[in-house]
Structure 1
Amino acid sequence: MNNLYQILLPAEFGFAILVFGLLFFIKAPYGRFLRSGWGPSLPAKWAWFLQEFPAFGTILVLFLYFEAWSSPTAWVFLIIWQVHYFHRTFFYPFQFGSGQKPYPVLLVIFAVFFNLMNGFINGYYLFGKVNYSTDWLLDPRFIVGVAIFLGGYLLNKASDKRLAALKKEGNGDYIIPYGHVFKYVSCPHYLGEILEWTGWAILTWSMPGLAFAVFTFANLAPRAVAHHRWYRQKFENYPANRKALIPFIW
């Protein structure tokens, strides 16, 4: 199992570099960028469920496999991870009214592979490779990381809720979002998720955590830029001072 870990950990950093480069030239074909030519598809809600479930399940299996339930710190890590992925697997796919919209099976396959890989390297490291003492829960890195994770989580969920409400308000059409952090950036939901896994990297102080944070940024930053450009092209009155992802900067 350690040999597999040694292969997959650097592979995730490599995938992050590859994805970051590709997504500036090829927009992932789902949501507003859905287009033909990507093979068979599934209804979006079931596609999201299928691709997110491995992240929820893999780390739970590893927690049980390594009998990590005797460690309070391991329980905290598991709960923090599952706070995100329980919602992302069982609630998020059914939150939007466009759940029947097509979603390419090819993207589901890619996401399943990534979530299995990412869940494995994080779960193996946290529950099988390293033994965190209970004192870690009082370490400043853990406390700061948890604060960043929770801030990102709340930003992500509040932004998703606002976007879902706009979908209903526009009868499925897109509307310019206002208020909240949308005042400053076009994609606060992506910023929130990047903050979540940056916090995770800090609170675990681990290379797998860092790999996940780097990949999250590499995956979402180009899409945030694409969304921002799309808003500007579609709406002539789109706020000129609004940035794509990072308030006042980018």
Structure 2
Amino acid sequence: MDGDRTHVVRDENLDEGERRHLKGRGIRPGLLYGALYFVATATFLLAVSVESLPYLRFCFVGNLLPKSMLTPDVATVVVLVTMWGVHFVRRFAEVLFLQSYHRKVAPFVAIMASLLYVVSGFWIGWSLNFFLGYSAPALWILIPAMLVFAVGEVGNCLSHVHLERDAVNGTRASPIHAVVSMSALFHFISCPHYLFEIVTWLGFAMAAFTLPAFLFLATNVVMLLARARRRHLQWREDANSRGDLARYHPSRKAIIPFVF
């Protein structure tokens, strides 16, 4: 899941009341998200490698595809483990070295996010456990899924770079409180980083084809669609209140170009 953030102009452009509001109470997002990404990776690796975990029936673990569409090669499971690791190592590096956050995370939100990452990481790893009989999809399914995953990863990373660049470059000359990049897909949607996050997990779910992988995808879709809509409306309202709606592009959508 993509760490939520608000991109604002630099602190020197804010009055004292805004500074106090941005500091607020709660947990530092960079610290929280870094810890969550580490935990998600650790619980996943634990569950995917332990031989003594019980096998659960009713599709709770194991591939949902028929045996004729599977490959017993353990190397394909290694591919899935690598995909999971690539995503969370990248996100871990981004929150520590790239992204800046201006608002803290409420304790309740931090607790719920922690539960989501712990449960999802362990359950998805459990469902991919080779010792419990998991077999990955055949290569004609796995390779397209890997390409979808790669598109999501690259797009998500580039979107974060664009957002951070524009947040850093915000100056007094720009009256918009929420500085939104005008690069690449930002011309069409406010939150391409959320869109590419969904693409990433779609690719992973296609590659894994397990129930928890698809449930994790569905959870991210619901949360990121709602978050994108909220951010989009906030940024539009902010731009409109400052008389700079034209710069924001009134025809821009929240997360799906031309649609939503």
TM-score > 0.5, shorter chain as reference? yes
TM-score w.r.t. the length of structure 1 is 0.77
Query: Could you say which residue in structure 2 is the equivalent of 1:53?
Result: 38
- Are the structure 2 counterparts of residues 79 and 56 from structure 1 closer, same or farther at C-alpha, using a change threshold of 3 Å? same
- Are the structure 2 counterparts of residues 32 and 159 from structure 1 closer, same or farther at C-alpha, using a change threshold of 3 Å? closer
Instruction: Determine what percentage of the aligned residue pairs are the same residue.
Output: 25
Q: Establish whether residue 42 from structure 1 lines up as the match of residue 44 from structure 2.
A: no
If each structure's helix is expressed as a fraction of its own residues, which one has the higher value?
1
Q: Establish whether residue 248 from structure 1 lines up as the match of residue 248 from structure 2.
A: no
Greater relative contact order (Cα < 8 A, sep 6+)? 2
Q: Return the offset for 1:239.
A: 0.5
Query: Could you say which residue in structure 2 is the equivalent of 1:79?
Result: 82
Query: Aligned AA for 1:31?
Result: T
Query: Could you say which residue in structure 2 is the equivalent of 1:216?
Result: 220
CA distance in 1: counterparts of 2:98 and 2:29, whole angstroms = 11
Verify the 8 A CA contact 1:29 1:104 in the aligned structure 2. Answer: no
Query: Could you say which residue in structure 1 is the equivalent of 2:116?
Result: 114
Verify the 8 A CA contact 1:156 1:190 in the aligned structure 2. Answer: yes
Query: Aligned AA for 1:77?
Result: L
Query: Could you say which residue in structure 1 is the equivalent of 2:67?
Result: none
Verify the 8 A CA contact 1:52 1:112 in the aligned structure 2. Answer: no
- Are the structure 2 counterparts of residues 191 and 30 from structure 1 closer, same or farther at C-alpha, using a change threshold of 3 Å? closer
Aligned residue for 1:177, secondary structure, equals coil
CA distance in 1: counterparts of 2:4 and 2:164, whole angstroms = 20
Aligned residue for 1:62, secondary structure, equals helix
Q: Return the offset for 1:71.
A: 2.3
TM-score w.r.t. the length of structure 2 is 0.74
Verify the 8 A CA contact 1:151 1:195 in the aligned structure 2. Answer: yes
Query: Aligned AA for 2:29?
Result: A
Aligned residue for 1:248, secondary structure, equals coil
Aligned residue for 1:91, secondary structure, equals helix
Query: Could you say which residue in structure 2 is the equivalent of 1:31?
Result: 6
Query: Could you say which residue in structure 2 is the equivalent of 1:167?
Result: 167
Query: Aligned AA for 1:103?
Result: V
Q: Return the offset for 1:32.
A: 6.4
Query: Aligned AA for 1:247?
Result: P
Which consecutive unaligned segments of at least 5 residues does structure 1 have? 1-27
Query: Could you say which residue in structure 2 is the equivalent of 1:181?
Result: 185
- Are the structure 2 counterparts of residues 30 and 187 from structure 1 closer, same or farther at C-alpha, using a change threshold of 3 Å? closer
- Are the structure 2 counterparts of residues 29 and 92 from structure 1 closer, same or farther at C-alpha, using a change threshold of 3 Å? closer
Q: Return the offset for 1:97.
A: 3.2
Structure 1, residues 22-63: CA drift from partner, whole Å, max 9, x if none? xxxxxx996369998xx9512221121122222111111123
